[in-house]
């Protein structure tokens, strides 16, 4: 059978979700901060205008070298093109359904809502700072947590001085909201 009619990898069908990418809950809106929207838009433009054209050029060059079945540049290039196209489709879908929320424009700044940067104190008095952001821009190591994360849901609508109880992987925790700001 010709290699033209075989799949290189099963499960490569039309999964636009990147590996490890978080999905939106059914029916939920894709909230995103203005900063997050800019980051996704910049990545999409870079893929479409820079990376994909370069890879098309490499694949075209490799295809002209003859036997494609053992041509590493061609095989890798085609695989990389599929990855780039999958990421482009994913970004386009996410940006289409994105609902951009500017945290700096928040009117009710005494309560925790999407985009808030919240300082929390645990029982030992240790203070941690988190910003509530969209699922596509969440990065716990940088202090940005998704609005659908258990901690975010527990502190939504809280005010300064409120005690919050929530179930974490380490067990039940009690946190106090020490500060709220919108940047």
Residue ranges of the domains in the chain? 30-101, 103-182
The answer to whether the 30-101 and 103-182 domains have the same CATH topology is no
* pTM score of the predicted model: 0.77
CATH tag, 103-182: 3.10.50.30
How far apart CA 177 and CA 112 sit, in angstroms, is: 9
Whole-angstrom distance between the N-terminal and C-terminal Cα of the chain?
60
Q: List pLDDT tens digits, range 60-97.
A: 988 888 777 778 888 899 999 999 999 999 999 999 99
Q: Please give the class, per CATH, of domain 30-101.
A: mainly alpha
pLDDT digits (tens, 9 = 90+) for 29-63: 789 999 999 999 999 999 999 999 999 999 998 88
């Amino acid at each position: 059978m010709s290699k033209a009619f075989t799949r290189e990898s099963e499960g490569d069908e039309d999964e636009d979700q990147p590996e490890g990418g978080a999905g939106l809950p059914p029916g939920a809106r894709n909230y995103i901060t203005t900063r997050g929207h800019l980051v996704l838009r910049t990545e999409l433009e870079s893929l479409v205008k820079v990376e994909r054209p370069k890879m098309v050029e490499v694949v075209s060059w490799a295809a002209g070298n003859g036997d494609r079945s053992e041509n590493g540049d061609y095989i890798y290039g085609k695989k990389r093109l599929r990855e780039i196209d999958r990421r482009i489709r994913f970004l386009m879908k996410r940006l289409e359904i994105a609902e951009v929320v500017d945290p700096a424009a928040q009117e009710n700044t005494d309560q925790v809502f999407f985009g808030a940067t919240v300082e929390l104190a645990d029982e030992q008095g240790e203070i941690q700072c988190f910003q509530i952001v969209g699922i596509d821009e969440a990065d716990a190591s940088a202090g940005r947590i998704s609005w659908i994360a258990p901690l975010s849901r527990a502190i939504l609508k809280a005010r300064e001085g409120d005690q919050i109880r929530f179930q974490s992987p380490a067990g039940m925790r009690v946190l106090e909201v020490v500060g709220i700001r919108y940047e």
